[in-house]
Structure 1
């Protein structure tokens, strides 16, 4: 895969925590190894699912270094830039390049709801801070800022902007973007339970959440779709959909970490203010996960 080609499956991994809510770098490395051995095309660290909002700059760099060391050049490691200020984002982007990160997934600045002009200026400043290729993360549902078609046209003159993580939750945006901008940007689906539809419509990559617990199934869906084997991809996808729904809502981090813990035995600990799921919320995640495990498809049927 070329440096600026983000085709394939890219897990946005969770940040593993110890019982006292400290980052577990050994577990981060083990997670990166597990994902790569399962066939993913790269790994994204410190994203929304990775609890970026509660990590310090020093922790993000330590996580990135651990992931790079484990990947050992086998697959690219990308870092998410989700800082409160443009200055902090630009500094982190430059530091990420210096330690060997191969790409950035960049959100608008957090907390402040910027207007279109300010968002474009933010993205341009991050791009100017390093030579790394950038995925523009568009998630207006979660972050209140919509990177519009007009903004993407305005930013198209910057070659470092290579892809868009399409997380609007509206598959019409895929066709609208492709019609307006052609192949200027790679489109990557970022909503797990719209992933297959998005791949069929023209997305060339999947930045995934539940992949952290089920990487082989996620990769199989992607590859079957790429090969035009849509009915087979649909079989796995329909099995997966109740689990993929865990990627939606304010407690998606707790949901997915609990799924991981049940499936893989990893730590479900999240950093406060996130607290463990209890009561009906926990029971629902456990029930869906256990049902999924009981009916888990045999991937050898599809050649995987």
Structure 2
């Protein structure tokens, strides 16, 4: 089973009115995403509000996803401390997850020596294949191609990278240095076509939570090199995809999900639901997209 192919939704975490995790909605949502052609599920990541979930809640979400679908479940592994990240990686393996998406530590970011030690500790704690998550915009830690090569040389289970630097040239640079040693995926929604054109072979996506059929079709067209058809669908999708690239991406995507009938806009603090002009602008973008939704 190839984990690193197709569209892998980084799922949101739905909450009940008391802000406990709504496992029923988790279950129905991931089943719907898979039914629309998604090839794996990534819970507990940034979009999943992983920083607001306890270790026990993360493990429970993992188990719900593993029980709900037959595709690979690849949870985000992120924590404030290295010890917590190691504990979470082991919990994911116990839950039956197929792989891990390994993030740098929350809050603290420093030099390569410290970041390498953190990631290496997680990689040593599991036998599962691991996706290294590079997102210098959000986490202030940049895993350069040379850094990735170091990790790949020292850890056999470092097998893929989610490249979210927003620079499609990074995909080319990783492939030039590492060849096929690491599978490369796009981690920024509005860089999908450019990333695939540069050689990325999977997409860790956000707006897929509300638009899985369109996401899967866009990825397929890009991968097949059908540039004109991909461009036409991309042009329609871009105003929505750009919601994934700003500070309030979680609130925006959850609001879009709510409006299309697949979730609720509830978020955990410190986030608050959108209000005023921000909320209205998101709804305007969505209304325009729905009014011009293409036939697939």
Using the size of structure 2 for normalisation, the TM-score is 0.98
Gaps in structure 1 of 5+ consecutive residues: 300-304
What aligned pairs does 1:92-241 form with structure 2 within 5 A after superposition? 92-157=88-153, 158-241=155-238
From 15, 28, 36, the counterpart of 2:13: 15
Greater than 4 Å deviation, 4+ residue runs:
none
- Distance in 2 of aligned mates of 1:223 and 1:143: 30
Gaps in structure 2 of 5+ consecutive residues: none
- Distance in 1 of aligned mates of 2:37 and 2:149: 34
Map of 2:85 onto structure 1 = 89
Map of 1:294 onto structure 2 = 291
Q: Could you tell me whether the CA contact under 8 Å between 2:29 and 2:262 is conserved in 1? A: no
Give the total of aligned pairs: 295
From 21, 25, 28, the counterpart of 2:26: 28
- 1:91-127 CA distance string (max 9 Å, x none): 1111110110111001111111121011111111101
Map of 1:45 onto structure 2 = 43
Q: Could you tell me whether the CA contact under 8 Å between 2:163 and 2:184 is conserved in 1? A: yes
Displacement of 1:265 after TM fit?
4.5
Q: Secondary structure at the match of 2:142?
A: coil
Displacement of 1:232 after TM fit?
0.9
- Distance in 2 of aligned mates of 1:149 and 1:229: 29
Structure 1 residue 270 and structure 2 residue 267: aligned? yes
Q: Secondary structure at the match of 1:188?
A: strand
- 1:206-246 CA distance string (max 9 Å, x none): 00000000000000011112222121111111100000010
Structure 1 residue 59 and structure 2 residue 66: aligned? no
Q: Secondary structure at the match of 2:278?
A: helix
Q: Could you tell me whether the CA contact under 8 Å between 2:109 and 2:115 is conserved in 1? A: no
- 1:141-178 CA distance string (max 9 Å, x none): 11100011221121122110111110001111111111
Structure 1 residue 283 and structure 2 residue 280: aligned? yes
Q: Secondary structure at the match of 1:233?
A: helix
- Distance in 1 of aligned mates of 2:33 and 2:6: 13
- 1:170-220 CA distance string (max 9 Å, x none): 111111111111111111000101111111110000000000000000000
CA RMSD of aligned residues (A): 0.9
Q: Secondary structure at the match of 1:162?
A: strand
Q: Secondary structure at the match of 1:84?
A: coil
Q: Could you tell me whether the CA contact under 8 Å between 2:7 and 2:203 is conserved in 1? A: yes
